[in-house]
């Protein structure tokens, strides 16, 4: 356990780095890259491998915009968990500190921490969902690609249905002693794969998973069966988004739609809200409407292609998704525009925990001075929430309205892609790799 003073110092260091990154020229383009990955439009080509952590404050604002989706849960605790996840994902000491403070048997008290490792054929990103259950620390590795060390005794059951779709058990659990030594060892194991340090060919393969196996009292596969039809090498973004959808869908109410994770759920709606929240943030940071229009156009194409696939049999549906994925990857690998800020701004960072008598977390706040007016990047007013909700409703309606325009745009992309002599493989910093070895379940105790 570290002191409050030490915690604030570590947070301030992370905030300082984030402030510089948010002020950089690349920030807007990087956010666009993340959303294109989330839409399955391209594989990862980012050289900054910790940018996906920007999803945490965005998801927090999604919850603030649609609190009714989580009305049966402790929303303040969930938002605190997202804040802590952001900081824990960048510092092993904070990861250990916040793990110690998890509440036993509480689905709203969690940490989602991305980590990665090299494999025999490349590199891969997974997400760790950390909770405290039965006075044990439970580390759930969430991985839709089903990648595992070759020596793992237990392999995920992989199912290939009649339509060519892969399904796999996507979660794997490690149970670790809830002791200072156990928690510190867990934090070091996960932090060994933090993306901000980069990877070299000599790195130990599957390093975080090896370390977790050494310290775990037991480990086993879970029961979460998901599609593992990876279209792009986009695990950098897809795994953390999938993990967040999972923790937000716990204790789902019967009427819950937006945060549902099953195939019949409205995951397109969640993507739409995320898109609008990102557009709002980028405009408040001084970017013009070009970047928000760009993101909205890509979301509308995502919805259009998703709707279009519904008109085909299942086997054709899969083939179209793969075919379109290759075309879009070829196009977007080299065509994301450079977006410039059109207004002057200044970012200031401060910690504020005086708003609550019992603050679950000293929340960071970013203030931006935009043309003489201070605005909060990580805070939404009631008026701003109303605008976001209206925009979310409008953008889905506009998919049908702009159907012909979207279709022409996609056909133009397709024609350009087909004129290229070969498929462009992105310089993937971390992509999705698959483990084809499949065996029956055997739980190690």
Give the residue extent of every domain in the chain. 4-332
Looking at residue 144, its pLDDT comes to 83
For residue 350, what are the β-bridge partners?
A: 365
What is the distance between the alpha carbons of residues 129 and 82, in angstroms, rounded to a whole number?
11
Residues 6+ away with beta carbon under 8 Å from 89: 50, 53, 56, 95, 112, 113, 114, 194
Question: What's the first-to-final CA gap in the chain, in angstroms?
Answer: 29
pLDDT of residue 201: 45
Give the span between the Cα atoms of 368 and 378, in whole angstroms: 10
Residue from 351, 354, 355, 360 nearest 109 by CA: 360
pLDDT at res. 427: 44
Q: Indicate the pLDDT class of residue 161, thresholds 50, 70 and 90.
A: low
- Phi, psi (degrees; rounded to nearest 5) at 168: -150, 155
Point out which residues pair with 408 in neighbouring strands.
Answer: none
What's the full length of the chain, in residues? Answer: 445
Which tokens sit at 291? Answer: 């970047």
Residue 402: the pLDDT is 86
- Contact in structure between 25 and 172 (CB atoms under 8 Å): no
- Residue carrying structure tokens 């900054």: 48
Interval 238-255: pLDDT, tens: 899 999 998 998 754 444
pLDDT above 90 for 214: yes
Residue 76 in this model has a pLDDT that exceeds 60: yes
Model confidence at 196, in pLDDT bands (50, 70, 90)? low
Residue 362 in this model has a pLDDT that exceeds 70:
no
pLDDT in tens, 391-427: 888 877 787 788 888 888 888 888 887 776 444 444 4
pLDDT for 41 equals: 93
Compute the Cα dihedral for 40, 43, 47, 49 and give only its sign.
Answer: positive
Q: Sorting pLDDT into bands at 50, 70 and 90, what band is 354?
A: very low
Model pLDDT for residues 255-278, shown as the tens digit of each residue? 444 444 444 334 457 888 999 999
Average pLDDT rounded to a whole number, residues 373-386? 69
Looking at the predicted structure, is the pLDDT value of residue 64 above 60? yes
User: Is the CA virtual torsion 66, 71, 76, 77 positive or negative?
Assistant: negative
294 — pLDDT class (breaks 50, 70, 90): very high
- The lowest-confidence range among 155-159, 188-192, 284-288, 354-358 is 354-358
Examine the pLDDT at 63 and tell me if it is beyond 80: yes
Q: Is the pLDDT assigned to residue 371 strictly greater than 70? A: no
Tell me the whole-structure pTM to 2 decimals: 0.82
Q: Supply the pLDDT for residue 342.
A: 85
Q: What one-character DSSP code corresponds to residue 421?
A: S
């Amino acid at each position: 356990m570290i002191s409050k003073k030490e915690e604030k110092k570590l947070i301030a260091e992370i905030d300082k780095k984030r402030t510089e990154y948010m002020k950089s020229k690349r920030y807007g383009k990087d956010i666009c890259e993340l959303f294109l990955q989330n839409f399955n439009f391209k594989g990862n080509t980012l050289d900054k491998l910790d940018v996906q952590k920007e999803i945490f404050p965005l998801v927090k604002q999604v919850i603030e915009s649609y609190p009714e989706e989580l009305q049966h849960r402790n929303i303040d605790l969930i938002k605190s968990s997202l804040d802590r996840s952001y900081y824990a994902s960048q510092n092993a000491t904070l990861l250990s500190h916040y793990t110690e403070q998890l509440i036993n048997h509480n689905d709203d008290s969690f940490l989602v921490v991305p980590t990665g490792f090299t494999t025999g054929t490349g590199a891969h990103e997974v997400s760790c969902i950390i909770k405290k259950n039965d006075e044990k620390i439970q580390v759930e590795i969430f991985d839709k690609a089903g990648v595992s060390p070759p020596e793992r005794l237990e392999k995920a059951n992989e199912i290939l249905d009649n339509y060519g779709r892969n399904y796999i058990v996507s979660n794997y659990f490690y149970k670790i002693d809830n002791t200072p030594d156990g928690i510190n060892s867990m934090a070091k194991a996960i932090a060994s794969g933090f993306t901000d340090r980069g990877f070299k060919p000599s790195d130990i393969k599957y390093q975080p998973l090896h370390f977790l196996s050494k310290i775990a009292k037991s480990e086993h596969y879970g029961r979460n069966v998901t599609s593992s039809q990876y279209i792009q090498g986009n695990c950098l973004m897809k795994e953390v988004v999938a993990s967040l959808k999972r923790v937000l869908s716990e204790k789902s109410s019967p009427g819950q739609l937006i945060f549902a994770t099953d195939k019949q759920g409205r995951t397109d709606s969640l993507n739409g809200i995320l898109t609008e929240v990102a557009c709002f943030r980028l405009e408040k940071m001084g970017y013009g409407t070009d970047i928000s229009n760009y993101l909205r156009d890509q979301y509308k194409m995502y919805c259009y292609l998703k709707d279009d696939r519904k008109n085909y049999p299942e086997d054709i549906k899969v083939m179209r998704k793969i075919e379109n994925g290759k075309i879009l990857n070829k196009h977007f690998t080299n065509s994301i525009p450079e977006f410039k800020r059109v207004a002057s701004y200044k970012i200031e960072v401060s910690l504020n925990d005086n708003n609550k008598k019992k603050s679950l977390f000293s929340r960071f706040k970013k203030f931006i001075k935009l043309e003489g007016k201070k605005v909060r990047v990580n805070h939404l007013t009631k008026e701003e929430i109303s605008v976001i909700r209206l925009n979310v409703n409008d953008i889905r309606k506009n998919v049908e309205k702009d159907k012909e325009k979207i279709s022409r745009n996609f056909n133009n992309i397709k024609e350009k892609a087909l004129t290229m002599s070969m498929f462009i493989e992105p310089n993937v910093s971390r992509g999705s790799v698959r483990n084809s070895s499949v065996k029956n379940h055997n739980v190690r105790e």
